[in-house]
Structure 1
Amino acid sequence: MLVGGGLGLVVFVLVVLLASALRVLREYERGVVFQLGRFWKVKGPGLVVLIPGIQQMVRVDLRMVVMAIPSQDVITRDNVSVKVNAVLYFRVVDPERAVIQVERFLEATSQLAQTTLRAVLGKHELDGLLAERERLNLDVQKILDAQTDTWGIKVTNVEIKDVDLDDTMVRAIARQAEAERERRAKVIHAEGELQASYKLAEAAEVLARQPQALQLRYLETLTVIAADKNSTIVFPLPLDIIGPLMRRFVPTAEA
């Protein structure tokens, strides 16, 4: 009876040891195995057998991590205070370094992304921050990728989501945009006047060569004015029409 109970206990212990020695890693997981506290190898995916009490394993997820960078207070180069948040995309490419080189690589990457975002955006003026997001995204991504390379982490993309301004600055930007549109309108109007003056000068040269054309223009002008049903018509009288009359009466006056 005692022999049967002892055998059952041995079988139970063996089953427990075997269960603790077996690990199953999914396709996107890797296991960093330590043997007596020293790094041994990276295993997975699939079935992994460990020696209980001698080997320990740390699971590492190799899938893309999408991390939201909390809103950061940034002072731009032209001393404007804004709040900026972004999204960070990264993944682990070297499980060994991600476990050994840094403690809690997710938290470390998040803190590094926050400080890098403030440092990079603080070097630019507000106009550049609003108009050149793609270039700023690339700058932040390159800096983060270089700094996290020793941790076995690859930063693939950084996207700035929102840039929040206070109401005073929003109104100032609106006034600036309105003034810019008025400036463009005046420039366009001036360019139109300049082009029109060139065309009028060309038309004057043509009319000077053909005086009869000027009379036709007068008649056409009368037609346009009469179409509006005006009661008063102001019509310029050319001097060459009254010229003969003036030459006729001038000698009489002298006499």
Structure 2
Amino acid sequence: MFYDINIGLSGVVIVLLLLTFNAVRILREYQRGVIFTLGRFTAVKGPGLVFVIPGIQQMVRVDLRVVTMDVPSQDVISRDNVSVKVNAVLYFRVVAPEKAIIQVEHYLEATSQLAQTTLRAVLGKHELDEMLSEREKLNLDVQQILDAQTDSWGIKVTNVEIKHIDLNENMIRAIARQAEAERERRAKVIHAEGEKQAAQALMEAAEILAQQPSAMQLRYLQTLTQVAGDKSSTIVFPIPVDILTTLLKKVANPSGLGGLGQ
């Protein structure tokens, strides 16, 4: 009799221990538990020790950490009809666990698919040059669209980064030719601007020398000094025409030159 009672008590104790073991849940700091009682949403619990009534309540774990998701390479046709392959990386986290479980099935997969379609839609509205030079603006546009659409799912998109834009070989060569032509254009513009500034400086210098004829003689002497310092056997020195005219007149009229010597 007592043996049967002891067996029965032992069985009850074992059942209670099993129920207690199944009722206890331990959630980490970055986890939350969405509790359903008889199929209806009850509360969000955690972190720490959580009790769930076996058979009556169910708990779904949700991770609140930032998820890094790679967006697969997408075929995109730009607004100027250039075909490129674009891949990106998406950063998001769950801010409302109950919405992430109730409002959408498999929120990770849903967010991935939405990111792929949004990336194609946004980049298809821009030209190739904008894709290559305005990545920050495109990242912000994709992030804002994703954040607005996933808000009802309890998901916050924190950042979107376009990693790589893959071009075919023909387009790469075309861009290289365009860049080379742009560099040549800039070189010609800079050269023309230098010529313009040099001409302006020469005009100002000529005006100054014209006001003082003696300054021209000093400039000749300075030039002669510079040429004489070089290791050259031939010196070409310009002489003003008015000086040559005076010398020719003196040679043609020796008496005048003698009178000048006296």
- Whether the TM-score (by the shorter chain) exceeds 0.5 is yes
Code of the aligned partner of 2:241: L
Match of 1:80 in 2: 82
- Distance across 2 between alignment mates of 1:8 and 1:184: 93
Tell me which stretches of 4 or more aligned residues in structure 1 moved more than 6 Å. Answer: 246-250
> What amino acid is the match of 1:122?
G
Q: Distance in 1 between matches of 2:202 and 2:65?
A: 71
- One-letter identity of the residue aligned with 1:73: D
Q: 140, 158, 161: which is aligned to 1:159? A: 161
Consecutive unaligned residues of structure 1, counting only runs of 5 or more, are 251-255
The size of the alignment, in residue pairs, is 251
Say whether 1:10 aligns with 2:12.
Answer: yes
Give me the TM-score of the superposition, normalised by structure 2: 0.88
Kindly state the Cα deviation for residue 165 of structure 1 after the two structures are TM-superposed.
1.8
Residue 32 of structure 2: aligned partner = 30
TM-score w.r.t. structure 1 length? 0.91
Correspondence 1:113-124 to 2 at 5 A: 113-124=115-126
Q: C-alpha distance in 2, partners of 1:111/1:145?
A: 14
Partners of 2:226 and 2:121 in 1: how far apart?
A: 68
Quick one: which of 190, 200, 206 aligns to 1:198?
200
1:114 CA displacement: 1.0
Task: Report deviation, 1:247.
Answer: 6.4
Residue 144 of structure 1 deviates from its aligned partner by: 0.4
- Counterpart among 121, 134, 137 of residue 136 in structure 2: 134
CA 1:166–1:36 in 2, change beyond 3 Å: closer, same or farther? same
DSSP-derived class of the 1:143 partner: helix
Amino acid at match of 1:105: Y
Distance 2:143 2:31 in 1: 25
Match of 1:21 in 2: 23
CA distance in 2, matches of 1:135, 1:13: 61
Report the aligned-residue RMSD. 2.0
* DSSP 3-state at the match of 1:53: coil
Deviation at 1:249? 9.6
Whole-Å separation in 2 of the counterparts to 1:22 and 1:191: 81
Alpha-carbon distance in 1 for matches of 2:167, 2:133: 15
